[in-house]
Amino acid sequence: MVGPSKNRRLGVLISGRGSNLQSIIDATETGRLDATIAVVIANKEDAGGLERARRVGVDTAVLKHTSYESREAYDGALINELRRRDVGLVCLAGFMRLLSVRFVEAFPNRIVNIHPSLLPAFPGLDGQGQAWTHGVKVAGATVHVVTPELDAGPIVLQATVPVYDTDTPEDLATRILMEEHRIYPEAIAIILGGGWRIEGRRFLRE
């Protein structure tokens, strides 16, 4: 069983517009999430989420993965940036990079990700589009603890959305995104609050 985290400092990793980052910012500002965003790190200098962070005074950094000779070297730099800011929980929010074993082991059970499908269905890129193409009747979003395997870690929370016959892939993606914004801060609060354990692939709450 894991007790409440004394370190409630978040490091958020992004690659793009940062809409899930915004949901975390909003939750901390309204008190729904008792945490502090210590830093937002992007692997692209034009990531829109950087401006979202700067507008509310959150520290930002850009680490371009193209500037490093290997995944291991890049992840080492990420680890250093996060540790320098005493980050206790790493939150992936549209971070389009596979993390190495080195990175995952640096923050054991302290990395979470939001994915736009009901895992284990439709891992990887464009989970929403995969679901629409497959013709499922129910789709959704998943928050999971990150492991070295792609989108395969223990599931913390899931939310479902209906898939209508008239939906376009964009319609479905919009509906899923609304649920992502709702459950991601909730899942982060669960992780920080303690009272859970991991058995195999299962995330169990006391």
Catalytic residues: 115
For 40: left if phi > 0, alpha if psi spans -120 to 50, otherwise beta; the answer is beta
Task: Give the C-alpha separation, 97 to 12, whole Å.
Answer: 13
Task: Give the C-alpha separation, 81 to 73, whole Å.
Answer: 13
What Rg value do the Cα atoms of the chain yield, rounded? 16
Nearest CA among 196, 170, 189 for reference residue 27:
189
Task: Give the C-alpha separation, 13 to 23, whole Å.
Answer: 14
Task: Give the C-alpha separation, 115 to 118, whole Å.
Answer: 8
Q: CA–CA distance from 79 to each of 54, 100, 146, 200 (Å)?
A: 21, 11, 15, 26
Q: CA–CA distance from 18 to each of 89, 133, 135, 192 (Å)?
A: 17, 26, 28, 21
Chain centre to alpha carbon of residue 169: 22
